[in-house]
Amino acid sequence: AFNIDPIRKARLEGFVGKKGLAKSPVGSLFGKLDPKAAAFGAIKLAKPLDREVPFTTAYGHVTLAGTVASATLVGTTKDATTAGQWVTEVRREITKTAGRDRTPAVAKKILGAIAVSSAGADVTLKASASTTELYDAFLAMMTREPPEPPMPPAP
């Protein structure tokens, strides 16, 4: 379930079924959400999406305080080992991306502000950036020169 306008709770509940949000598959996660956030959502799956996204439940929200956007996402994996491995891999990818010469400076700054941690089977990702930084990073990523195409194979 996603809501981008907290005033329209009834409409959101209409999307989840006649029993309402509390009795929907994500009802148990609803108490963990911030319904006053600019955006919030939750998902509950019978099995993980795939090997690279090992979560069966997840919830999160994005808040806006002045010109600072903050996001908190929490996902649950099958066990603490999987959660720890996923955190290690995400941190490695953040470091790798931030270390690339072609990654714009503003994107590197945003990547540096991402905190990923685990507690038991839960993984928490927190990040915040100003709306100006987000806008500048988006523009920088959209307007940068594409990488050189690979050479065609030899005949």
- At 32 the pLDDT is 74
What DSSP element (H or E) covers 129? strand 122-130
Residue 39 structure tokens:
């955006």
DSSP state of 79: S
- At 17 the pLDDT is 53
Q: Other CB atoms closer than 10 Å to residue 17's CB: what's the count?
A: 11
- At 22 the pLDDT is 60
What's the alpha-carbon Rg for the chain, to the nearest Å? 19
Question: pLDDT digits over 74-96, tens only?
Answer: 999 999 999 999 999 999 999 99
The residue with tokens 């509390």 is: 22
Q: Which of 96, 132, 89, 131 is nearest to 111 (CA)?
A: 96
Question: pLDDT digits over 93-105, tens only?
Answer: 999 999 999 888 9
Residue 14 reports pLDDT greater than 90: no
Distance CA 3, CA 24 (A): 15
- At 16 the pLDDT is 54
Residue 11 reports pLDDT greater than 90: no
Question: pLDDT digits over 40-81, tens only?
Answer: 887 888 888 777 888 988 889 998 899 999 999 999 999 999
Residue 146 reports pLDDT greater than 70: no
